[in-house]
């Protein structure tokens, strides 16, 4: 490869490496330094807040009781979109804002993780074609500021739909509309954003739980944080606590003596189906009685979702029931030539949306807008919102911190801060063959790594150079490499087997065995990095196997979300494990 034309692909950002050294320094900093901002929660919103604060020159740390993106931020529909159905609810401001963010992510901030996806919208009547066409036309118009990144929508007749979407029954449509949106690898997005925040000076400490807030002079002035790895409790001092805990927001507010319930948990389940079982060239969107159903392309699989219903049980372990799964399959099968059965399901995952509570009895009717509140001095809470608008939510939150502390801070500039991995990505994408030849791996492997690491691909390729056995696949049916396990521990804050199988990779939902056959191999690779003994390896594997068995029991045996069903479904294994 010509060095003069190569992008700066081997930049070293040691401060962005979220390994054991970073965690040790984060724990020291939490216990010894007074921070400007302490963020609770390492989902996309919390990490976005840390990135925004750090980019404005504030000292900031993030604490998270589990893992990066361990909640809703790794269990989304994987869409970056304006929300076409929100137009029907007249939420024009939300849609316009989200479409602007979608375009920013596609073009500048994260082109390695956010990519175009096309959807087929079948119509059955002339009035529906007109009605949907006007709505999608408005959607395109609202996204048209600046250079056009995605094509305009277009209409298809019955014959063209039959050719492009043979999976659909002949009588299920009278044509269709095709429009474009964007996909995201949600967990990897949070990891990339976390490393970007760390590069700017933020400290990230996972497996640390807030167990109380401290007050002085009628303000929240810090928190008591327990390290779940050591059991040590830390007294953290800060100017403002940012509560970015999603469906746990009310719990943190309660630590400050506030009892107002603002957040309502809405359960959304998703099925993962082998690509060959649904013969489509693009994604699919169907109207349902209360909402919409998506069939979303995801590598060698489809993601089918979602539901939208209240969840009142253990928020750490939302579970899909047999009834949920039957509903999704039944709705989709109404339009499929070859119906799906439960045997076609490779994986199931469930997320909880933190919606702003309102008067509606149905969570599908609740607003996806966000609210930033300062219920007591020193505590700023961000609730509601959409994954797509996380950056705007974060900017609004840090603006509230500025007001809370009376600071003279610059305005948010995160629209000019590409996430780690993005800057050299486009040029590297054109050099796949050369990189493969130089690194001694297959072009398909380079393509896979680029779509996950962007211009940080050499962090993984260098591991393979040191140990060629790391180029082997973890599971021969899926593209994940053994090197990615080592990389997850050294660079991406992975501490537990579940972290790697469910978030650093998607083995837990893309493998028919849900990652159980890979568990021991992955745990042994992690053991070398984390100095686990055999007892710890066995414990990590047993915990993961128990979790999968419990989830399968819920998926197959229970029709109702009863306390017993959920106890069996997830068994509080994570809580007991720590």
Taking 50 as the threshold, does the pLDDT of residue 360 lie above it?
no
| pLDDT at residue 477, rounded to an integer | 94
Taking 60 as the threshold, does the pLDDT of residue 103 lie above it?
yes
User: Out of 146-150, 367-371, 493-497, which region has the weakest mean confidence (pLDDT)?
Assistant: 367-371
- Supply the CATH number for residue 319's domain: 3.30.9.10
Same domain flag for 309 and 395: no
- Between 262 and 445, residue with greater pLDDT: 445
Look up residue 425 and give its two tokens.
Answer: 């990505």
Same domain flag for 537 and 473: yes
Same domain flag for 404 and 305: no
Question: Looking at residues 62-74, what average pLDDT do you find?
Answer: 96
pLDDT digits (tens, 9 = 90+) for 520-571: 999 999 999 999 999 999 999 999 999 999 888 877 766 665 544 444 444 4
Cα 262 from Cα 249, distance rounded (Å): 8
Same domain flag for 268 and 253: no
Confidence of residue 34 (pLDDT cuts 50, 70, 90): very high
Instruction: Give the Cα-Cα-Cα angle 439, 444, 446 (nearest 5 degrees).
Output: 40
| pLDDT at residue 557, rounded to an integer | 65
For residue 382, is it within any domain? yes
Confidence of residue 297 (pLDDT cuts 50, 70, 90): very high
**Host H or E run for residue 322:** helix 322-333
Question: Looking at residues 237-258, what average pLDDT do you find?
Answer: 93
Cα 278 from Cα 354, distance rounded (Å): 31
Q: How far is CA 354 from CA 190, 310, 383, in A?
A: 17, 11, 7
Closest CA to 445 of 462, 455, 433: 433
| pLDDT at residue 188, rounded to an integer | 97
Cα 356 from Cα 441, distance rounded (Å): 48
pTM of the model: 0.93
Give the distance from CA 570 to its chain's centroid: 20
pLDDT digits (tens, 9 = 90+) for 457-491: 999 999 999 999 999 999 999 999 999 999 999 99
Specify which of 180-189, 262-271, 549-558 reaches the highest per-range mean pLDDT. Answer: 180-189
Same domain flag for 158 and 272: yes
- Supply the CATH number for residue 394's domain: 3.50.50.60
| pLDDT at residue 262, rounded to an integer | 78
Task: State how many domains the chain has.
Answer: 3
Q: Whole-number mean pLDDT of the chain? A: 90
Look up residue 76 and give its two tokens.
Answer: 């989304």
| pLDDT at residue 2, rounded to an integer | 42
Let me know: does 179 contact 119? Beta carbons within 8 Å: yes
Domain boundary among 306, 324, 356: 356
| pLDDT at residue 384, rounded to an integer | 86
Taking 50 as the threshold, does the pLDDT of residue 401 lie above it?
yes
For residue 277, is it within any domain? yes
Taking 50 as the threshold, does the pLDDT of residue 299 lie above it?
yes
Question: Looking at residues 357-361, what average pLDDT do you find?
Answer: 50
Confidence of residue 505 (pLDDT cuts 50, 70, 90): very high
Which single residue is written with the structure tokens 């140990």? 467
Same domain flag for 433 and 544: yes
Same domain flag for 464 and 546: yes
Residue 238 main-chain phi, psi, to 5 deg: -155, 165
Q: Provide the residue range defining the domain that includes 309.
A: 115-181+264-356
Same domain flag for 522 and 549: yes
Look up residue 107 and give its two tokens.
Answer: 């073009």
């Amino acid at each position: 490869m010509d060095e003069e034309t190569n992008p700066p692909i081997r930049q070293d950002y040691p401060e962005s490496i979220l390994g054991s050294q970073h965690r040790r320094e984060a724990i020291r900093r939490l216990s010894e330094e007074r921070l400007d901002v302490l963020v609770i929660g390492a989902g996309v919103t919390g990490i976005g807040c840390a990135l925004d604060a750090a980019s404005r020159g504030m000292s900031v740390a993030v604490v998270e009781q589990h893992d990066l993106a361990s909640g809703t931020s790794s269990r989304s529909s994987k869409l970056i979109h304006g929300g076409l159905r929100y137009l029907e609810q007249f939420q024009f401001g939300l849609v316009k804002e989200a479409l602007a963010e979608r375009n920013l992510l596609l073009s500048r901030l994260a082109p390695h993780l956010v990519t175009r996806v096309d959807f087929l919208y079948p119509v059955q009547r002339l009035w529906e074609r007109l009605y949907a066409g006007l709505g999608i036309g408005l959607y395109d118009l609202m996204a048209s500021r600046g250079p056009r990144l995605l094509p305009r929508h277009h209409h298809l007749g019955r014959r063209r739909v039959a050719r492009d979407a043979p999976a659909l029954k002949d009588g299920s449509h009278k044509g269709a509309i095709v429009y474009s949106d964007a996909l995201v690898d949600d967990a990897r997005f949070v990891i990339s954003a976390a490393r970007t925040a760390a590069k700017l000076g933020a400290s990230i400490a996972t497996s640390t739980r807030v167990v109380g807030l401290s007050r002085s002079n009628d303000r929240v002035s810090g928190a008591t944080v327990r390290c779940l790895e050591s059991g040590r409790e830390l007294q953290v001092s800060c100017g403002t606590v940012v509560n970015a805990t999603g469906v746990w927001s009310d719990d943190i507010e309660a630590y400050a003596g506030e009892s107002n319930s603002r957040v309502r948990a809405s359960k959304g389940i998703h099925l993962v189906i082998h690509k060959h079982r649904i013969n489509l060239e693009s994604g699919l969107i169907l109207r349902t009685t209360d909402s919409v159903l998506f069939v979303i392309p995801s590598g060698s699989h489809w993601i089918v979702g979602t539901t939208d219903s209240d969840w009142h049980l253990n928020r750490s372990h939302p579970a899909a029931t047999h009834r949920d799964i039957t509903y999704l399959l039944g709705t989709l099968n109404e339009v499929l030539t070859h119906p799906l059965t439960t045997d076609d399901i490779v994986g199931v995952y469930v997320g909880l949306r933190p919606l702003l509570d309102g008067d509606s009895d149905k969570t599908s009717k609740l607003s996806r807008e966000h609210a930033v509140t300062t219920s007591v001095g020193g505590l700023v809470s961000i609730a509601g919102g959409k994954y797509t608008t996380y950056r705007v939510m974060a900017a609004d939150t840090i603006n509230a911190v500025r007001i809370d502390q009376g600071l003279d801070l610059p305005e948010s500039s995160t629209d000019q801060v590409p996430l780690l991995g993005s800057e050299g990505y486009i040029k590297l994408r054109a050099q796949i063959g050369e990189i493969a030849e130089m690194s001694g791996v297959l072009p398909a492997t380079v393509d896979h790594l680029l779509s996950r690491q962007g211009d940080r691909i050499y962090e993984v390729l260098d591991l393979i150079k040191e140990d060629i056995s790391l180029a082997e696949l973890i599971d021969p049916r899926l593209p994940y490499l053994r090197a990615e396990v080592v990389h997850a521990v050294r660079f991406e804050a992975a501490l537990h087997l579940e972290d790697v199988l469910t978030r650093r990779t998607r083995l837990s939902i893309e493998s028919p065995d849900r990652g159980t056959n890979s568990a021991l191999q992955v745990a042994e690779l992690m053991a070398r990095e984390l100095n686990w003994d055999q007892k710890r390896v066995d414990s990590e594997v047993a915990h993961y196997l128990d979790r999968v068995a419990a989830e399968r029991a819920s998926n197959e045996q229970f029709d109702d979300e009863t306390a017993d069903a959920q106890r069996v479904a997830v068994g509080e294994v994570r809580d007991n494990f720590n």
